[in-house]
């Protein structure tokens, strides 16, 4: 793709992703995953959703790529046993617990990516101000509970809509719930991000500790 990957856009110091574009890109990704899960003829679990596998086209539209680890679901099949596949930091807990994998594994990975889009940093960083900030999900949840979401965004992000920021954080925290059944479908993720439906407050999760 002509404009590289989302990883390059988020994590390179010389790049600057203005705030209003972050929600648009998050929705692009969510719609792409929804297509894989529900709209294509053979439903697909991507199994490796991460910024490196999201490419930006000439119009800066996010496109999901790299289906080398993807799992195809047979008609009427909603879950599958499969060996662990994916990238550390983006793997849902069920991959490690030897239980059936569903599309909710991709929802978890999307939640991690959404946090990275919000904060413009990777899900684990050692070059941070305090140890509380090393694990992104834990730090975001602490900021959410303390009502300090302004800490999550760049100092030069003057146009941040704090209501939209809170909504995106809540959606991400729902997506990374440890229990797959608690995670929303990608359709509901889109509705929440668009503001079509309310986004309730997410419960605590082991992922946040």
| Beta-strand runs (E) in 46-175 | 54-56, 62-64, 71-72, 79-80, 101-102
pLDDT for the residue numbered 14: 67
Given this model, what pLDDT does residue 157 score? Answer: 64
Establish whether 48 is a catalytic residue.
yes
Measured CA to CA, the distance from residue 127 to residue 179 in angstroms comes to 30
> What global pTM score does this model have?
0.91
Give me the pLDDT at residue 80, please: 52
**What pairs with residue 141 in β-bridges?**
none
Task: List the beta bridge partners of residue 56.
Answer: 62
Where are the chain's structural domains?
6-75+87-195
CA angle 111, 198, 161 (to 5 degrees): 70
- pLDDT value of residue 126: 74
Q: What is the pLDDT of residue 198?
A: 96
Q: What is the pLDDT of residue 122?
A: 92
Active-site pick, 28, 48, 57, 106? 48
| Residues in the chain where the model's pLDDT stays below 70 | 1, 13-15, 73-86, 155-158, 207, 209
The per-residue pLDDT for 209 is 65
Tokens 């509705």 belong to residue: 191
The Cα 7–Cα 20 span in angstroms is: 18
Of 166, 123, 136, residue with least CA distance to 23: 166
Residue 188 to residue 125: CA distance in whole angstroms: 30
For the domain spanning 6-75+87-195, the CATH number is 1.10.510.10
**Residue-level pLDDT at 95:** 79
């Amino acid at each position: 793709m002509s404009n590289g990957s989302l990883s390059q856009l988020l994590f390179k110091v010389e790049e600057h992703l203005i705030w209003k574009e972050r929600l648009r890109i998050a929705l692009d990704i969510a719609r792409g995953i929804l297509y894989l899960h529900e709209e294509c003829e053979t439903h697909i679990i991507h199994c490796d959703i991460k910024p490196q596998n999201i490419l930006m086209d000439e119009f800066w539209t996010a496109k999901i790529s790299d289906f080398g680890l993807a799992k195809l679901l047979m008609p009427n099949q909603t879950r599958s046993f499969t060996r662990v596949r994916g990238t550390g930091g983006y793997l849902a807990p069920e991959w490690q617990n030897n239980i059936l994998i569903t599309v909710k594994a991709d929802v978890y990975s999307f939640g991690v990516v959404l946090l990275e889009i919000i904060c413009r940093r990777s899900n684990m960083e050692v070059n941070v101000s305090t140890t509380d900030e090393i694990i992104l999900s834990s730090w975001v949840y602490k900021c959410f509970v303390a009502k300090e979401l302004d800490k999550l965004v760049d100092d030069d992000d003057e146009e941040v809509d704090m209501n939209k920021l809170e909504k995106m954080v809540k959606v991400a925290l729902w997506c990374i719930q440890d229990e797959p059944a608690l995670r929303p479908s990608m359709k509901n993720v889109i509705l929440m991000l668009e503001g079509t439906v309310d986004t309730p407050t997410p419960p605590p999760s082991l992922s946040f500790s």
